[in-house]
Chains A and B, each alone.
Chain A
Amino acid sequence: MKTRRIIAIAKRDLKRTAREPAALFMIFLFPIVFVIAFGGAFGGIGGSSSPTYGVGVVNLDNISTGVATGQQWSSLFVNSLSATKILNVQAYPDNETAQMDLAQGKIQAVMIIPSGFGASCSSFLASPGDASKWVNTTVLLYFDSGSLFATQAISPIFQQVLGTLLDGGQQTVAKPISLSTPSLVNVQKTSAFDYMAPGMFAFASIFMIMIVAQSFALDKENGLLKRIRMTPTSPSEFMMSQVLSNMVTAFIQAAIVFGLVYLMGFRPLVSSITIVLSFGLVLVFSLCNVGFGLITATIAKSSGAATGIAFLFLLPQLFLGTFVGASLSGAAQSASRFVPSFYVTDALTSLLLRGAPMTSPTILLDIAILVVSSVAILIVGILLFGRILRES
């Protein structure tokens, strides 16, 4: 395998991307327009006007215990939630009334503070390192399943506030009070746009399926693949060049998206290593999109047909695997486990938004599934298109 051939063909592809208006739009300009549009619509522009979400709080601790510290802890927790300015916290006397308002859409979530909440906080404060002395409690959460904001935003905010309350936000792994969402939020002020930002990396990259499919189908149509085959270039050199050029494109695309979402207020409070890892995940995901593009180009008889067929792979990835998926039905959310974009979005959300460590089991599982599925799809694409290449 000769590096010079691989680089020569990869350079050709990058020049095509830069010089063809349609490819340039889909790869680079579309994500820019899209990020600005979504940023404007969901709070990325004008940070002070971020929306607030109604949360009903039933404080059983306040009612059932007469212990002064217990009342202070739960009140402090509720006040801290109100102070985020994102949540509009409303007190409810009982769960039944709160559930009624939730069912009617007046609020988007209900939180039940259990009777032992204050005791849990006190026990943690007294012996932060000795879990055997803690009083364990669970805060019950009810979300409006149809609300993107409730399902995506509220739980991490609770986690963040609770963490700050107990240990000043030091992200102590174990605590006596548990929520349904295990990860912690590291951002002080979170808008809906912040929850969408990780998904935007995947969203933009998915459109590579169409570009790859169109370019291969067009090269096939115009006899360019045949002409390359007439030279000493081997199929493996050709395929390697495609992978290389598309990974460069994906990297530039990710950098543009990252720069834009940053300019629009997304501030992931993570280390530079985490950001590098995030870019790495986007590059791995781009392999999957190249694979789908190759499969599409194999099936398509023309570049026009390739555009249509590309949507078969593109739409499920978009609607099930990126941030759009959070507002889908339970069945659709289950289906999202079958698209690779879900895993890259989930991993990026955990890394960049929830501040979860790279070694967390959720992220490791996401990365494992993403790598295996992307490489498998790429191999299938190369094998299928390689046959076309040999027959062209």
Chain B
Amino acid sequence: MKVEAEKVMSPAGSPQVPDPEAMNQMLPLGERRAAIEIENLSKKFDVVAVDGLTLDVMEGELFGLLGPNGAGKTTLINMLCGLTKPTVGTAKVGGYDIIKEIDKVKDQIGVCPQETALFPYLSGRENLDLFGSLYLMPKDALKKRSQELLAGIGLLEDANRRVGKYSGGMKRRLSLICALVHEPEIAFLDEPTVAMDPQSRHAVWGFIRDLTKDGKTVILTTHYMEEAQELCDRVGIIDHGKLIALGTPAELIEKYSAKHLEDVFLQLTGRNIREEL
């Protein structure tokens, strides 16, 4: 069902043209524009890490990318971020081609990598300042944004401490806001809550939800199925580089007659332990 953009009247009675972006966010997920368009994307190292993957992620969607270790999730994100070139296939991120227009892609995205890659000898605030500067944010805006993010993620009191002195959970939270300091339209969050205590995890969940409320698109990879079930609009399960299931958590649970998303995951990917080498 397409929702037509309607003319609305301002209080003064003059016609107002609605913001197309805002209108797009009001549409049901399936009818929004695609923020990420992946078509037949493959990456071969010694083995095939991603195998002919086709997928659209819509604007403002919180999309969960699930899969066992070595399934190809991080390789897929690396290709979408321009770190790795695909062997075959194409993708567009924010409307830009990941091969031909990677500089424009990088301006659109924020990436929170799997490892807590922060500068330990800088304070939390200095880390944010550095990342904001790399995106050429105006200094005043950067200062204001850093303050908001530090307060939002519960790190304001420790903002001037060196990151080397932070706990693991604090580093993960800081890593997350460093990826978002420049207010990217699309965020790739690679296991952002790994090794966090429940309090921190719930704080991060709230933070991620707020992102989508602001119309941002989020790609979330996680091994915590309850996290995916709780947060994601849709999830895609990848194994051996192929997309083997796609839908809302509720649809997948119903389709596979499971109690939880974790049961679906285990049904589809098996119970054998995987190790990522």
Contact = CB atoms under 8 A, between A and B. Distances in A.
B122 A12 contact: yes
A20 B135 CA distance: 26
The SS class assigned to the B binding surface is mixed
B173 to A, nearest CB: 16
Interface in B115-157: 115, 117-119, 121-122, 126, 129-131, 133-136
Contacts of A4: 133, 136
A8 B134 contact: yes
A337 interface: no
Contacts of B113: 223, 226-227, 230
Contacts of A267: none
Nearest to A7: B133
Nearest to A231: B134
Given A229-B83, A231-B106, A15 B122 contact: yes
B83 A8 contact: no
A228 B115 contact: no
A222 interface: yes
The SS class assigned to the A binding surface is helix
Nearest to B81: A230
A360 to B, nearest CB: 44
B121 A2 contact: no
A33 interface: no
Contacts of B134: 5, 8-9, 228, 231-233
A230 B162 contact: no
Contacts of B135: 231-232
A222 B83 contact: no
B254 interface: no
A207 to B, nearest CB: 19
Q: Which of A12, A228, A231 has the most CB of B within 10 A?
A: A231
B261 interface: no
A8 B130 contact: yes
Nearest to A218: B120
Contacts of A226: 83, 113, 117
25 contacts: A4-B133, A8-B130, A8-B133, A9-B134, A12-B119, A12-B122, A12-B126, A15-B126, A16-B121, A16-B122, A222-B115, A222-B117, A223-B113, A223-B115, A226-B113, A227-B111, A228-B134, A229-B82, A230-B111, A231-B106, A231-B134, A232-B106, A232-B134, A233-B134, A392-B83
**Nearest 6 CB-CB pairings of A with B:** A8-B133, A223-B117, A227-B117, A223-B115, A231-B134, A230-B111
